Amino acid sequence: MKLRAPKCLSIALLCALLLPAQGQDSNILFEKEALIQSKLEQARAQGAHRLEGQLYEKWGEALLNAGDLERALEKLESAAAVFESANAWNGYGRVLILIGRLHRTHGNYRQAIQRYTDALAIFRSVGDRAGESEALRLMGMSYHMSGNHREGLELIQQAVEIARQLPRGNLLQSRLLMLGYAYTQTGEPQRAIDLLEDLLRQGVTTRPLLFWSLSTAYFQTGRYDIAESMATQGLDLALSLGKPEAARFCLQAREGARRRLGRLEEAAADIEEALRLSEQIRSRLVPMDFMKLGFASKDKELVNDAVDVLYALGRYKRAFEVAEQARGRAFLDLLASRRASNEIPTDLDLTDDSLMLSEDDFQLPSTTSVEPATFELVVGEAKRLGSTVITYWFNSDAAYIWVIQPEGAIHCVRVRVSEKRLSELISQAGSRAEATRPALQELYRYLIGSVRHHLPRSGSRLTIIPHGSLFDLPFAVLIDDRGKYFLEDYAIHYAPAIATFELIDKRRESQKSDVAANRYLLAANPTKPPRMPDGSRLSPLAGSSLELEKIAARLPAGSSQVLNGSALRVDDLKRSLSDHTVIHFATHAVVDAARPLDSFLALSYGERLTTRDVYSTSLRADMVMLSACRSASGAVSADGVLGLTRAFFYAGAASVVASVWDIPDDVAPDLVADFYEQYRLSGQKDRSLRTAQLRLLGRLRAGNVQISTAAGLVALREHPALWAGFVLLGEPQ
CA 342 to chain centre: 24
Q: How far apart are CA 135 and CA 310, in angstroms?
A: 39
- Domain layout of the chain by residue ranges: 190-286, 309-503, 511-684
Whether the model pTM is above 0.85: yes
Which of 29-38, 338-347, 556-565, 713-722 has the least mean pLDDT?
Answer: 338-347
Task: Please name which of 395, 373, 392 lies closest in space to residue 382, comparing C-alpha atoms.
Answer: 373
Cβ contact 234:211 at 8 Å: yes
Q: What is the CATH number of domain 190-286?
A: 1.25.40.10
Contacts of 651 (CB under 8 A, 6+ apart): 344, 614, 615, 617, 618, 619
Convert the pLDDT of each residue in 441-481 to its tens digit: 999 999 999 999 999 999 999 999 999 999 999 999 999 99
Give the Å distances, CA to CA, from 10 to 39, 453, 676, 708: 10, 68, 69, 81
Task: Please name which of 584, 667, 596, 573 lies closest in space to residue 627, comparing C-alpha atoms.
Answer: 584
pLDDT at 511: 53
Q: What is the CATH number of domain 511-684?
A: 3.40.50
Q: Which of 56-70, 548-562, 708-722 holds the top average pLDDT?
A: 548-562
Convert the pLDDT of each residue in 206-222 to its tens digit: 999 999 999 999 999 99
DSSP class per residue in 123-144: HHHHT-HHHHHHHHHHHHHHHH
Matching CATH topology for 190-286 and 511-684?
A: no
Q: What is the DSSP letter of 531?
A: B
pLDDT at 5: 38
Work out the pLDDT band at 7, boundaries 50, 70, 90. very low
Cβ contact 404:382 at 8 Å: yes
CA 250 to chain centre: 25
Cα-based torsion angle of the residue sequence 589, 593, 597, 602 in order, rounded to the nearest 10 degrees: -10
Q: How far apart are CA 709 and CA 666, in angstroms?
A: 12
Give me the percent of the chain exceeding a pLDDT of 70.
91
Work out the pLDDT band at 359, boundaries 50, 70, 90. very low
Helix (H) or strand (E) holding 15: helix 7-18
